[in-house]
Amino acid sequence: MKTKIFLASATIATLCLALVAGLMRVHAQSPQVQPTGGTGQPIVTQAIQHDISQPLRSIAPLRANSGSKHVHPQRPLPTTSGGADGALQTSAGKKVNTSAGLKFAGIGAGDYGFTPDAAPPDTNGAVGATQYVQWVNESFGVFNKSTGALVYGPAAGNTLWSGFGGGCQTNNDGDPIAQYDKAAQRWVMTQFSVSTTPYTQCVAVSATSDATGSYYRYAFTEPNFNDYPKLGVWSDGYYMSFNMFNGNSFVGARACALDRSAMLVGAAATQICFQLSNSYGGLLPSDVDGTIAPSAGEPDFYLNFGTNSLNLWKFHSDFTTPANSTFTGPTTIPVASFSAACRGGGACIPQTGTRQLLDSLADRLMYRLAYRHFADGHESLVVNHSVTVGSKGVGVRWYELRNPNGTPTVYQQGTYAPDSTDRWMGSIAMDKVGDIALGYSVSSASIHPGIRYTGRVPTDTLGTMEAETTVISGGGSQLKSLNRWGDYSAMSVDPADDCTFWYTNEYLKSSGTFNWSTEIVSFKFPGC
């Protein structure tokens, strides 16, 4: 199959013109297309506001600490039980053979002058051309990826929207995602604004590959509480998923495509959305790794899990004629039997030294749904979630799907639970030669929560991972009345070599509450 290489979408001339134009804030006058319906019909709205910021490096970081400790509540999703695990890996072989890169503290208690005031941290980050950006509840930092040195921050998330106005500037509500658009060499940063209405998704796209430069900033409104937003970069759009709530009532998953081409030059941008029924939640959009683009016109893929199955949708967006956009599916893909951890989610993860159990967030797939198009023409998706493994507690179920745009098949799957330690809150990715890395949290009644990763190479037996590597052992446990953990971690692949994995997750240096720390680590496999 003939391959296609991603190209940046903006010329230097266009970029300069956009930057000049951005000296004045631009407000959308009215939606280009009014909302037209519910499930099955595209709902198209324009960003209610957009502008171009001053360089981030010239904006003084805001402090996130409000002085009051607060918990981001879990909003559970419907799940079903599928029975005993049918893909359990009960032992691991050789030690995962990776070469270590950098290892340094991320934003957390006692590091860089930061004091957490929210839980869970929603630890995530991404690697770019020269920097690593990490974002936690409720601050972000920019690090030099060669040295690990902090070059900006910690800064409250709404620092990105200083001078923008509205809820994006006023509120610092979290649920953040830091992404890197590898094709365009831009940062894509997003968090929601939900403590005031209208419910809003705030999105900022960097004007260059420098995360401390200027950003094109946008505010998109959503009709209900847009919980747990997740972002996938695709060649024709930025694709997002939400779990929509009306009060405490789950409305259903919402899938939205944002006009990437417009946002890369700071122009007015629309979002095209589809609302699903409350039978479906926890969808993830596919997110491109590597230099080979999806085929021309190929839809973005969305995935969630059902009873012993994965459900796949295809999102085709048309920003020229939005009414032609489609969201089709689900295609049900049978997988080995499993039951979501902790009886469908909730807290059941033990820690040493306390009776306090930790939240599994096992009612949904874990970010990211990583897509890769290989030079031989095949396409793969990898993803994971947390499952029950009988007497062994909790393990990580992972999948590699192939041919998602044809007849999707499970190429391999496995549940990693080589001993009685609980493993959960995973994130997974593939490098350019097909090596897979899977990072996660670990805990048990005899150890404090810590961070580890495992992996595999293409010659390993299908459905198996190698013996794990410890990133950092926890120095304490989370104490009484605080069970929230996660809600996600992040495995990304370095665009410079398409081989080096970067992983970040949370742990505790000492026992307590609201005293989480994070770690950032890089590594690669020898065959890449």
- The pTM of this model reads 0.93
Decide if 501 contacts 475 (C-beta within 8 A): no
Mean pLDDT calculated for residue range 160-175: 97
**Adjacent-strand bridge partners of 506:** 518
Residue 251 pLDDT > 60: yes
Is 30 within the bounds of a domain? no
Distance between CA atoms of residues 370 and 293, nearest Å: 13
Total Cβ atoms within 10 A of residue 462: 11
250 Cβ contact list (under 8 Å, min separation 6): 75, 77, 78, 243, 244, 278, 281
Question: What does the DSSP assignment read for 115-154?
Answer: ---EES---EEEE-SSEEEEEETTEEEEEETTT--EEEEE
Q: Report yes or no on 375 lying in a domain.
A: yes
Residue 188: partners with Cβ closer than 8 Å, 6 or more residues away = 177, 178, 179, 180, 181, 203, 204, 205, 206, 231, 233, 238
Is residue 11 over pLDDT 90?
no
pLDDT of residue 95: 85
CATH of the domain at 463: 2.130.10.10
> What's the structural domain count of the chain?
1
Q: What is the structure's pLDDT at 66?
A: 66
For the chain, give the number of residues. Answer: 528
Contact status, residue 186 vs residue 20, Cβ threshold 8 Å: no
d(CA 246, CA 454): 39
Residue 502 lies in a domain: yes
Residue 13 forms part of a structural domain: no
pLDDT digit string, tens, across residues 302-340: 999 999 999 999 999 999 999 999 999 999 999 999 999
Amino acid 96: pLDDT:
84
- The pLDDT tens digits of the residues spanning 57-69 come to 999 999 986 668 9
Whether 2 is covered by a domain: the verdict is no
| Contacting residues for 197 by C-beta, under 8 A, at least 6 apart | 167
**Residues of 384-393 as b/e, b for ≥16 C-beta within 10 angstroms?**
bbbbbbeebb
Residue at 1 is within a domain: no
Q: Supply the pLDDT for residue 8.
A: 37
3-state helix, strand, coil in the chain (%, to 5): 5, 45, 45
pLDDT average, residue stretch 489-518: 98
Residue 34: C-alpha distances to residues 40, 317, 444, 456 (Å): 16, 17, 52, 48
pLDDT tens-digit readout, 381-394? 999 999 999 877 99
Sheet containing strand 150-156, strands side by side:
124-127, 131-136, 139-144, 150-156
User: Positive or negative, the Cα torsion across 382, 385, 388, 391?
Assistant: positive
Provide mean pLDDT across the span 359-372.
Answer: 98
DSSP structural state of residue 459: T
Q: For residue 92, count other CB atoms closer than 10 A to its CB.
A: 17
H/E stretch holding 18 reads: helix 12-21
Decide if 275 is inside a domain.
yes
Dump pLDDT digits (tens) for 86-141.
999 988 888 889 999 999 999 999 999 999 999 999 999 999 999 999 999 999 99
> 472, exposed or middle or buried, with CB in 10 Å at 0-12, 13-18, 19+?
middle
How high does pLDDT run on average in the chain? Answer: 92
Percent of the chain with pLDDT over 90: 87
16 in a domain, yes or no? no
Residue 142 has pLDDT above 60, yes or no: yes
Domain with 105, as residue range(s), is 39-524
